[in-house]
Amino acid sequence: MLLAVVLASALFLCSSASQGCFTYMGIKNIVYLIDNLQKDTSSNCSCSTDAADCLCLPISSGNCSTACFQEGLSQLSNSTVSTRFRLTVNQVKRIVVTLKSNKCGSFACEQPCNQTTTGNTLTFLKTLLESFQNENMRGKV
């Protein structure tokens, strides 16, 4: 599986040069993380009741959530939850940076993280997935 992720990453790097707002690999990576972390109790915890034992990541309710995604992905890549998935998390981090630098839709904003709430790992990843899917749909319209 690791070989497939590395090859997919190489494919993404080659294709991202020609498609500045390419989100397909980001979507695949996030779905992979969600599928594999669903059984992990620390990824499904409640930030309101288990805050001490829960990785609570920033979730912005505004239109400019790139900084929150970058902050959350950094926290996730440094956590013990993601040691097994560090490569995939770092790939998603690089994709977010690329989308931001290429000024792709909602990822183009430059505002700091205006965190209105926190969510567990799965909630954070699902929010990020939704943004990637929205950007993917924008490219097809």
pLDDT digits (tens, 9 = 90+) for 27-82: 999 999 999 999 888 888 888 876 677 889 999 877 788 999 999 999 998 887 66
* Exposure of 119 in the CB half-sphere (CA atoms within 13 A): 17
pLDDT of residue 139: 60
Tally Cβ neighbours within 10 Å of residue 1: 8
Overall average pLDDT of the 87-112 stretch? 91
CA 12 – CA 63 distance, rounded (Å): 26
pLDDT of residue 105: 85
Burial of 63 (0-12, 13-18, 19+ CB in 10 A): exposed
pLDDT of residue 64: 82
